[in-house]
């Protein structure tokens, strides 16, 4: 068992790009748990942790919305852990009465069974009108017809005392689509994820509060051939339970007046203390990864196939390659213990030949 201090590590698995691990309903949770055990402190985003009706509480894993995680990596935010958040729930006015009632029952269940602090709950003053799209790369995307209604509802929840916000927007049903069939069989991209990121980014950036999203959808017909990674989404009527649990323990977002500012409580997570960032080898172009690379934070690039091919070579980045998340966890533990990762591989390269200093360039002595 390690005696080293916690080694804050970022785990980034971009949303909506079909990662083999992390592209489905919380299927990166085992990897997150292993990396948390190796590092003692893991900061990751809801896409990694959300398993619809399934979730995992771990005090060493910090649940941080994607745009806030980018700002943390860039040195513009600190994270204040340990607070029990009061989660306000924002419901899309476009959700039908029966489906709305199902989500309200999830709220009541989490209050009564898990003891979470939830409320207030309110509906937007107009339907949010979510639409879905696919980018040229094959990644999912989307937009809101009424972002103003989303922001007004969020402002009302914050004014009423909510310290974190769970959003439930009505998403389009398309049970016969080829994209959905591919996703359920384990070979496609999550068509909802890109639009979900738009919603949570918009609200987090506007309010400065932890936010996460759960889509409202009609039930799907039974599929005996369902891929295990997609199964968590088929266990209930909503995806809301994991969001409420995740947000209830999310850290506060504390703006730093100057990047790298050090005068904060030592119990907080400061961006200057980030020890490593772990991301898919083909998806290294995100803001968090690039910000860490610019600041010299070790980058561990995991073989985790997706629709993108933005790798370290294409970006001119220095990265430590890992064939799996199990290997990545071993590399994180090595860095935490001060072991050079290069000492673990074979063949082991010798030092380059000594080079003599040019004449007249030796050490000078002042008088």
- Which of 250, 279, 304 is the last residue in one of the domains? 250
**What is the structure's pLDDT at 366?**
47
> Residue 212: which domain range?
83-250
Q: Within this chain, do residues 158 and 239 fall inside the same structural domain, yes or no?
A: yes
Q: Within this chain, do residues 126 and 274 fall inside the same structural domain, yes or no?
A: no
Q: Is residue 245 part of a domain?
A: yes
Which distant-in-sequence residues (6+ apart) come within 8 Å of 276 by Cβ?
7, 9, 10, 39, 297, 298, 299, 300, 331, 332, 335
Q: Is residue 363 part of a domain?
A: no
**What is the structure's pLDDT at 357?**
74
Give me the CATH number covering residue 13.
Answer: 3.40.50
Q: Within this chain, do residues 94 and 67 fall inside the same structural domain, yes or no?
A: no
Does the pLDDT at position 76 exceed 80?
yes
Q: Within this chain, do residues 224 and 336 fall inside the same structural domain, yes or no?
A: no
Tens of pLDDT, residue by residue over 300-317, are 999 999 999 999 999 999
**What is the structure's pLDDT at 2?**
72
Does the pLDDT at position 198 exceed 70?
yes
Q: Is residue 361 part of a domain?
A: no
Does the pLDDT at position 269 exceed 90?
yes
Tens of pLDDT, residue by residue over 152-183, are 999 999 999 999 999 999 999 988 888 899 99
Tens of pLDDT, residue by residue over 200-223, are 999 999 999 999 999 999 998 999
Q: Is residue 244 part of a domain?
A: yes
**What is the structure's pLDDT at 367?**
43
Question: Bigger pLDDT: 9 or 138?
Answer: 9
**What is the structure's pLDDT at 360?**
64
**What is the structure's pLDDT at 188?**
82
Mean pLDDT computed over 83-90: 95
**What is the structure's pLDDT at 359?**
72
Question: What is the domain count for the chain?
Answer: 2
**Three-state SS across the chain?**
CCCCCCCCEEECCCCCCCCCCCCCCCCCHHHHHHHHHHHCCEEECHHHHCECCECCCCCCEEECCHHHHHHHHCCCEEEECCCCCCEEEEECCCCCHHHHHHHHHHHHHHHHHHCCCEEEEEECCCCCCEEEEECCCCCEEEEECCHHHHHHHHHHHHHCCCCEEEEEEECCCCCCCHHHHHHHCCCCCCCCHHHHHHHHHHHHHHHCCCEEEEEECCCCCCCCCCCHHHHHHHCCCCCHHHHHHHHHCCCEEEECCCCCCCCCCCCCECHHHCCEEEEECCECCCHHHHHHHHCCCCEEEECCCCCCCECHHHHCCCCEEECCHHHHHHHHHHHHCCCCHHHHCCCCCCCCCCCCCCCCCCCCCCC
- Which of 215, 230, 250 is the last residue in one of the domains? 250
Q: Within this chain, do residues 241 and 99 fall inside the same structural domain, yes or no?
A: yes
Does the pLDDT at position 260 exceed 70?
no
Q: Within this chain, do residues 132 and 77 fall inside the same structural domain, yes or no?
A: no
Tens of pLDDT, residue by residue over 19-69, are 999 999 899 999 999 999 999 999 999 999 999 999 999 999 999 999 999
**What is the structure's pLDDT at 264?**
65
Q: Within this chain, do residues 141 and 174 fall inside the same structural domain, yes or no?
A: yes
């Amino acid at each position: 068992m390690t005696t080293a201090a916690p080694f804050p590590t970022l785990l980034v698995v971009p949303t909506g790009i079909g990662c083999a691990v992390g592209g489905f309903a919380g299927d990166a949770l085992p990897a997150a748990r292993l990396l948390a055990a190796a590092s003692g402190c893991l900061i990751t985003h809801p896409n990694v942790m959300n398993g619809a009706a399934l979730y995992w509480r771990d005090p060493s894993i910090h649940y941080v919305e994607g745009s806030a995680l980018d700002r943390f990596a860039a040195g513009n935010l600190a994270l204040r852990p340990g607070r029990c958040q009061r989660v306000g729930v924002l419901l899309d006015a476009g959700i039908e009465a029966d489906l709305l009632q199902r989500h309200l029952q999830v709220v009541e269940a989490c209050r009564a069974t898990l003891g979470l602090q939830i409320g207030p709950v309110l509906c937007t003053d107009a339907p949010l009108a979510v639409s879905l799209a696919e980018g040229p790369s094959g990644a999912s995307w989307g937009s809101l017809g009424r972002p103003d209604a989303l922001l007004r509802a969020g402002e009302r929840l914050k004014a009423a005392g909510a310290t974190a916000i769970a959003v439930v927007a009505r998403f389009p049903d398309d049970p016969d689509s080829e994209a959905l069939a591919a996703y359920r069989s384990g070979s496609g991209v999550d068509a909802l994820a890109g639009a979900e990121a738009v919603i949570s980014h918009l609200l987090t950036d506007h309010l400065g509060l932890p936010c996460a999203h759960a889509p409202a959808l009609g039930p799907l017909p039974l599929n005996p051939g369902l891929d295990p990674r997609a199964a968590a989404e088929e266990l209930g009527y909503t995806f809301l339970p994991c969001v409420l649990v995740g947000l209830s323990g999310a850290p506060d977002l504390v703006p730093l007046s100057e990047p790298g500012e050090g005068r904060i409580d030592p119990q907080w997570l400061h961006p200057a203390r980030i020890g490593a960032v772990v991301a898919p080898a083909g998806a290294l172009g995100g803001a968090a990864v690039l910000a860490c690379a610019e600041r010299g934070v070790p980058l561990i690039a995991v073989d985790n196939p997706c629709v993108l091919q933005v790798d370290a070579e294409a970006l001119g980045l220095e990265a430590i390659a890992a064939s799996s998340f199990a290997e990545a966890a071993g590399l994180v533990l090595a860095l935490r213990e001060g072991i050079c990762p290069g000492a673990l591989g074979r063949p082991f390269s010798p030092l380059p030949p000594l080079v003599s200093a040019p004449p007249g360039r030796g050490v000078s002595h002042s008088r």
